[in-house]
Amino acid sequence: MVIILENMDSCVGCSACAQRCPTSCISMVYDDEGFLFPRIDEERCTDCGLCKKACPVLKSGNAGQDQEQTGFPRAWAAWCLDDDIRLNSSSGGLFSMFAEHCLREGGTVFGAAFDKDFKVHHTAISKLPDLDSLRRSKYVQSDINQCYREAEKLLMEKRPVLFSGTGCHIAGLKSFLGKPYPGLLTIDVACYGVPSPKVWSMYLEDMKKKYKSEIAAISFRDKKNGWKNYCMHISFKDGSFYRRTAVKDTFFIGFGKNLLSRKCCFSCQFRHPNSQADITLADFWGVERLGLTDTRDDKGISLVIANTPEGLATLESIREKCCLSEISFMDAASGNPRLTASAPMPYQRALFFEDLNRGVGFSALKRKYMNPAVQSLKLWVKRTLGAGVAGKLKKLIKA
């Protein structure tokens, strides 16, 4: 039997193995939890070993940037000066600035978009009007499709490429390519963990049933109530809409409680200091504590990290379109735990997927694991009685 990884729980599902396979004998198939894993057709496999060579997890021990030598990473609080783009982005709109720069140079930008059914997949764009499809975080694992192959083809033709995604997407690309290309710029986003596409589909079906209409558009990061109080916004084809702050939305509650993430996210090997991207982007939560001016308008502030000289040079070339304020990497990292460390896996995650796979309906799963009423009560106790009392109550309830 051919095995790519001894421990398949560490597979990130990037599909570098499948895209590199010369006999196309590896297909990506969904597991019980709704995540993609490689499946090898042993009849067609020639045991050439190229899949293992392309696997970022098998390479992860010696990857990452050589920070001591280069004096990187460097960090900035940043936002783009175009308010329209900023308000339509998750944080400060920096991704759009990098993407516009690449497109102006005649390049191609790869990133995560919704398809017509609101499943999340990677795609390539080469025209400015298409950029909005890649804008804003979609908190679901994005299917890379054949994007590594497409990017490689462009790079071999010496065309500029900006490839964006999570840390594992970028590690997968680098490992797939196997050598550096001068025209390639990579951006990863700080990552909490990637939720299951299966649970996302169940959530959408539930919404369509409740609103008795097909979905027209979705934003995970609607800023009508401000950046800090961001909302899930779903508009329906019949003109109705759903808007809930993240703390009251069932999908976000499940995400926030770490019930929905892929197993490998709990021991992610591609966060800082092991990011392999030229640039890392994140929300700059807690930026107020740095006492910078102009950060209180609640339109969104990005944390931009240049990990390489190429990343820094590109940041310099978009400088006049942004407001940038350099800070120490330690200051940046201290307010953003997911930049450098994975969340622990909660024991309820296994129970959640066990229930899901024995056919418990989405309404029951919501009530049991992602209940906005319970979440609101917890928040009320924390705010009114203080975190200490909330902690004691939690222990009492568990006991």
Ligand X SMILES: Cc1cc2nc3c(=O)[nH]c(=O)nc-3n(C[C@H](O)[C@H](O)[C@H](O)COP(=O)(O)OP(=O)(O)OC[C@H]3O[C@@H](n4cnc5c(N)ncnc54)[C@H](O)[C@@H]3O)c2cc1C
Nearer to ligand X among residue 114 and residue 353 (C-beta): 114
Nearer to ligand X among residue 40 and residue 150 (C-beta): 150
SS3 breakdown of the chain: % helix, strand, coil, rounded to 5? 40, 20, 40
With a CB cutoff of 8 Å and minimum separation 6, the contacts of 103 are 109, 125, 126, 127, 128, 131
Nearer to ligand X among residue 25 and residue 141 (C-beta): 141
* Alpha-carbon span 154 to 184, nearest angstrom: 10
**What residues numbered 328-357 form the site for ligand X, per CB under 6 A?**
336, 338
User: What is the maximum span of the chain, computed from C-alpha positions, in angstroms?
Assistant: 64
When asked if residue 93 is in the footprint of ligand X (CB under 6 A), the reply is yes
When asked if residue 136 is in the footprint of ligand X (CB under 6 A), the reply is yes
Question: Strand, helix or coil at 117?
Answer: coil
Nearer to ligand X among residue 140 and residue 177 (C-beta): 140
* Alpha-carbon span 14 to 166, nearest angstrom: 10
Identify the helix (H) or strand (E) that includes residue 227.
none
Nearer to ligand X among residue 31 and residue 283 (C-beta): 283
How many degrees, rounded to 5, is the angle at CA 314 between CA 311 and CA 320? 135
What are the CA-CA distances from residue 333 to residues 102, 118, 339, 355 (Å)? 28, 32, 6, 36
* Region near ligand X per CB under 6 A, out of 84-92, 288-296, 364-372, 388-396: 84-92
* Region near ligand X per CB under 6 A, out of 14-22, 133-141, 347-355, 369-377: 133-141
When asked if residue 299 is in the footprint of ligand X (CB under 6 A), the reply is no
| Number of shown-chain residues binding ligand X (CB under 6 A) | 35
Residue pair 94/88 in contact by the 8 Å Cβ criterion: no
Of 140, 138, 132, 120, whose CA–CA distance to 88 is shortest? 132
When asked if residue 120 is in the footprint of ligand X (CB under 6 A), the reply is yes
- State the nearest-atom distance from the C-beta of 55 to ligand X, in Å: 19
* Region near ligand X per CB under 6 A, out of 242-250, 266-274, 279-287, 308-316: 279-287
Nearer to ligand X among residue 92 and residue 311 (C-beta): 92
| From 302, 307, 314, 375, residue interacting with ligand X (rule: CB under 6 A) | 302
* Region near ligand X per CB under 6 A, out of 61-69, 201-209, 243-251, 275-283: 275-283
**What residues numbered 157-216 form the site for ligand X, per CB under 6 A?**
164-166, 169, 187, 189-192, 194
DSSP for 6-70 reads S-GGG-----HHHHH-TT--EEEEE-TTS-EEEEE-TTT-----HHHHH-HHHHGGG-S--HHHH
Nearer to ligand X among residue 27 and residue 336 (C-beta): 336
Nearer to ligand X among residue 31 and residue 188 (C-beta): 188
When asked if residue 123 is in the footprint of ligand X (CB under 6 A), the reply is no
When asked if residue 261 is in the footprint of ligand X (CB under 6 A), the reply is no
When asked if residue 233 is in the footprint of ligand X (CB under 6 A), the reply is no
With a CB cutoff of 8 Å and minimum separation 6, the contacts of 190 are 271, 280, 281, 282, 283, 303, 336, 338, 339
- State the nearest-atom distance from the C-beta of 358 to ligand X, in Å: 27
- State the nearest-atom distance from the C-beta of 349 to ligand X, in Å: 16
Identify each DSSP E strand in 241-366 by its residue range. 241-245, 279-283, 302-306, 322-327
Interface residues with ligand X (CB under 6 A)? 89-96, 111-112, 120, 134-140, 142, 164-166, 169, 187, 189-192, 194, 281-283, 302, 336, 338
